[in-house]
Structure 1
Amino acid sequence: MSVAQQLNYGLDDIQDAITNNEIELKPNFSNWVEKAIEAFDANGEPNYVDSKGELIEGIYINMPNDLYHSLPALSSSQLKEFKESPPHYFRRYLSGIEVKRTLQTQRTLDAGTLGHELILEPEDFHNKYFRELLPIDEPDALHTEAQIKAELEKLNLKTTGSKAVKTERLLNKNPNAKVFDDLQRKNCEKQGVQSTAVIEGEEKTLYGGKLGVDGQVWDSALRIVKSLKNEPQADAYINYGLPEVAIIARCPRTNLLLKVKFDWLRFDDEAADVKTTRSANPDDFSRQMRSLKYDLQQAFYTYVASLVGINIRRFLFVAIEYASADYCQLFKIKDTRLAKAFEDMHKAKEEFVESKRTGKWLSRYSGSVIELD
């Protein structure tokens, strides 16, 4: 664990570490940490906006993800979506149309998302989530309604009613009976008082302020972290720096406000982006890189960092596979590919400005007839 992690990301503590030579800054580095500020001051007031509510350019730490995503500035994800399809960008970010999600399409906490959080902000992770029980955790418990009914019959008790009613009847007679649903409930309640909160637009039940996570997803997230720790170069690389470093800067070419949030920004001006992936095989990840435009993402992040005086010396993608196998692989995009990505990024920004000016968010195929075979 890095010095910064041990100090819990407090800038005052980091400055002390610099003074004590625990963090070494060098003249040929940007020494960006000396210019970084907390997203909120000691009174909880935002440092990233002025008295008029306008964004202030700068480097910020400890900025919550939901807040970062709400900032009125252009992000890498937004620019990638615009480049792929202006109509889709318009629908998602500008139309005001919100399509109601069905149960099948509601967001769930997947192992990749949790693993990402657990790698970058382990202290906060355990304050936000807890592991729900799996049936395999309690193999001797009664799991099915049929099992509960059979146990009631042994005790000459009524077997009518719902599963919950049967469970209550059994536990009233035999408080020591192990029923999985009851054990799951107790596991939740021991976290603390039940409450509700709206998370990403959906109402969730919390216990002790924590959100329950499916046990299998939780275990997969732990394996993701283990895979990174088992790769010495990756484990060493995500060190000597800070996680989730946000930057707000204005593009001199387009006058657009831009924003990025580095997964990990090192004090020596190197950066890492953690990607949980279906396959860390180089051929597969290369296809994923092209499909999801990771090269444009790197160009955008590198450019925004340069606007606040940070010259990114190296940018690595830390790919972690966990579904079919557990391992971690580091990737670097070739300079020739990155040069093209910079051209595409600047061109996309200019096209974005033109779409904003005209109010036309047209498909790249607009005005043509596409002949299908």
Structure 2
Amino acid sequence: MRNDDRPRNYRQDTLLTHVGRNPEANHGVVNPPVYHASTILSKNMAEWEAKRAAPPFSGVRYGLHGTPGTFALEELLAKIEGGYRTMLVSSGLAAVTAPLQALLGAGDHCLMVDSAYGPARNFCDGILKRCGVETTYYDPLIGEGIEKLFRPNTKVLYCESPGSLTFEVQDIPAMAAIAHKYGAKVLMDNTWGTPYLFRSFEHGVDISIHAATKYICGHSDAMLGAIIMNEETFLPVRSAMAQIGHSAAPDDVFFALRGMRTLSVRLERHQKNAMEVARWLQARPEVSRVLYPALPQDPGHQIWKRDFLGACGLFGFVLNPVSKEALHAFIDSLDLFGIGASWGGFESLIQPAAPPRTAQRWQAEGPLVRVHIGLEDPQDLIADLARGLEHLKLREAAQ
């Protein structure tokens, strides 16, 4: 967008297309180029000293702290989600652990949602525990009941909505208000919602965490994390991460910046396909229930409808009780669904899931399966799943 006095109250899709681009500074090139850089030269000592005297993290000084490509993506992400500034790191897991490291120390207490991404739990139970930080896991549906778990030393309320694997929708505004009453910061893994579908800062979140590897990059070929912060948390977290040495690879930054330009149209197709497949699964006798907040029958649908602007293509479903062999026969027989971790790319994926829980026991009628619905024709995906369920029944009957 040109630097003039034209009105700038553009809508989200327009911002996705234009923010973070400056063709005039790049010989008319539409996309910001990839900057591979470590050393950044100064013209003279006056410029050297001016850079050192400038506010922290305000310009291109050293490759570790960002290049023009880094800052372009960081600007775009913050603008779309409504945050103050962004920091990019090497992976989604780094985006989870970095703000926890920055905000928690010996003697502090963290409230972590029981449905969180598994490696987030591992970090709390491992490194944070060794550093003297105590973690309490809470029921994702606790809502305003979270207040009884706060202590004088509680510094962080960590949320993930919908929950990893089991897709519970949390009442973020209510919980954030309570956390702020006790002086705690609210961190949320917003990878499912993306900056486009859940504007977390409007709901009381202080730090929004993204595995940009997924929908932001969107093509299963890059590793990246993003931490979007409000003004109060930016400098403490960004300074701590500079001391630790976090950064992001320039090629992955380029892939993410390019992926953001098509984020809205991809998400629209992912949701359309996922709804079609989810409704079909609901009607299958082999399926006990479908875990997808966009479905009207989902327990979290009303909060999802209130707070979110849409849904992505990731959901789960619970089968009726079957043997492990039958479950494997179902998955192994699929042609279009890859068996693999991660999600958010153009392709459909499937994996069995075993949610780790400590606040309460995960109760399900049968095996839990997580699927990512890609950009294929949904009728082909449905036909593939139908064939798979036939294999499941045949294998179960042979037991």
Which of 1 and 2 has greater Rg? 1
The structure with higher relative contact order (CA 8 Å, sep 6+) is 1
Shared fold, TM over 0.5: no
TM-score range, shorter chain: under 0.3
Instruction: Report the TM-score, using the length of structure 1 for normalisation.
Output: 0.23
TM-score, L = length of structure 2: 0.22
